Amino acid sequence: MRDLFLSNCEKNFIQKIVSEGHRLDGRNYNESRKLNITFGSDYGSCIVTLGETKVLAQVTCEVVQPKQIRPNEGILYINVEISPMAAPQFEANRQTDLLVYMNRLLEKCYKDSKCIDLESLCIVVEEKVWSIRVDVKVINHDGNLVECASIATLSSLAHFKRPDITRSGDSVIIHTLSEKDPIPTVLFHYPVCSTFAIYNSDILLSDPNFLEESVCTSSTEEESNINGGLLVVGMNQYKEVCLLDLTGAAIYNTNIVHKAIMNAADKCKDIVDLVKKLIASDDNLRQKRVKINFSDIITTEHKMSLCKKDLNIKLKNYNVDNITKIDDSDEEMEKNCMEISKYDVVSAAIQHTAEMFSKKGGSKWIEISSDSDED
């Protein structure tokens, strides 16, 4: 993976602006970006967007032999993929630290917290069990991949239904979806990860975007930023902590973890409620045989809303809808434009090409050389 290089001015600006109590996109410290979950036509496929970050998750199942030590339990397998589509600095088919880190976090959050009833996935003890595989693909990377991927994993797992089976003696029949209604996966609880960026060892930013994430983990030239880091808190809807992970600097202040957990508890509950609600309404629609697929995401308004409402750089009170309201002052403004600017602003962006200067005869070197030629 090519390292993405941050300029000093970006680092300093973000540091300064965060310590002044603002964020680049006008959010408050504990405000998240807009979350959107869409389900695909298959069971267990969904796209989750968190601001500009976008993750696709797909759950599949197959019948395999169980592990020797756990003969009566199914298998859960989570696989994360990051391609150059997510961000240009990633390379295809290459294991990166981020990928391994995300894979491990998701496994901790969903496998080790025992949220899935693996015993219900057993078909014949020691012979056949269901193996459930979650493929998480990062489509766009704009920070907070862990949270987005965990929501995608959770909603696809909760949405997934495996085919029904009947056992008659030694043989096992797997029914197709048209023969028998499929069975949903049993989830004991719904864990969700949420990420916090720590600045100056006492400021917590929830749902950091890519720039905030990379600034708080990188060090500035004076090494003054050893106090930044990323804290991932995994929690379920009963406000139980399933996962705690810190990258970056050590925390000197225990209050900050406490604050993060309190913060995450409310957030996770809201997210889980949303996931449950969406799955219920999706189920309803499917029973009415309404066609559901990802094409619902693409609307003309969607394109505009992405570009206009979720600006990366935004003032706190800025609202797109206000723009059209003050059209009556247009004529007045045009007069203003004709006036000379109050401030002496020079546009440094005018294209000065070499040809333009040679036309003006600006370069003295050329003139001298041409003189000497004549001599």
Partner 1 sequence: MKVTIEDVVLPSDQCEEIVKAGESGRVILGPGLRKEIDGVFIVKAGVLKKRSPNTYWVESYQKRYVPSRSENVIGVVVQKAGDIFRVDIGGSCTASLSYLSFEGATKKNRPAVKIGDVVYGKMLNASKDMEPELVCVDSDGKKNYMGVLEDGFMFKCSLNLIRKILNPKCPLIASLKNEWPFEMAAGMNGRIWIKANSMRETIAVGNAILGSEYASNEEIKSMCNNIASILAGHNS
Interface with partner 1 (CB under 8 A): 5-13, 16-17, 20, 22, 24, 26, 88, 221, 304, 307-308, 311-315, 317-318, 320, 322-327, 329-330, 333-334, 336-337, 339, 341-343, 345-349, 351-354, 357-358, 362-364
User: Which of these, 250, 242, 247, lies nearest to 208 by C-alpha position?
Assistant: 247
Tell the smallest beta-carbon distance from residue 156 to partner 1 (Å).
Answer: 29
Dist. CA 50–CA 36, nearest whole Å: 7
End-to-end Cα distance, the chain: 60
Count of C-beta atoms within a 10 Å radius of residue 170: 7
Dist. CA 215–CA 225, nearest whole Å: 9
Tell the smallest beta-carbon distance from residue 83 to partner 1 (Å).
Answer: 15
Q: Which is nearer to partner 1, 88 or 299 (CB)?
A: 88
Q: Which is nearer to partner 1, 52 or 270 (CB)?
A: 52
Q: Which is nearer to partner 1, 222 or 373 (CB)?
A: 222
236, 221 Cβ separation under 8 angstroms: no
Tell the smallest beta-carbon distance from residue 357 to partner 1 (Å).
Answer: 5
Dist. CA 95–CA 1, nearest whole Å: 9
Q: Which residue has the tokens 């975007």?
A: 209
Tell the smallest beta-carbon distance from residue 95 to partner 1 (Å).
Answer: 23
Q: Which is nearer to partner 1, 84 or 120 (CB)?
A: 84
How many whole angstroms from its chain centre is CA 304? 20
Q: What is the 3-state secondary structure (H, E, C) of 148-214?
A: HHHHHHHHHHHHCEECCEEEECCEEEECCCCCCCCEECCECCCCEEEEEEEECCCEEEECCCHHHHH
Q: Which is nearer to partner 1, 103 or 140 (CB)?
A: 140
Q: Which is nearer to partner 1, 291 or 325 (CB)?
A: 325
Tell the smallest beta-carbon distance from residue 199 to partner 1 (Å).
Answer: 15
Tell the smallest beta-carbon distance from residue 13 to partner 1 (Å).
Answer: 4
Tell the smallest beta-carbon distance from residue 344 to partner 1 (Å).
Answer: 8
Structure tokens at 7: 């300029």
Q: Which is nearer to partner 1, 250 or 346 (CB)?
A: 346
What is the length of the chain? 375
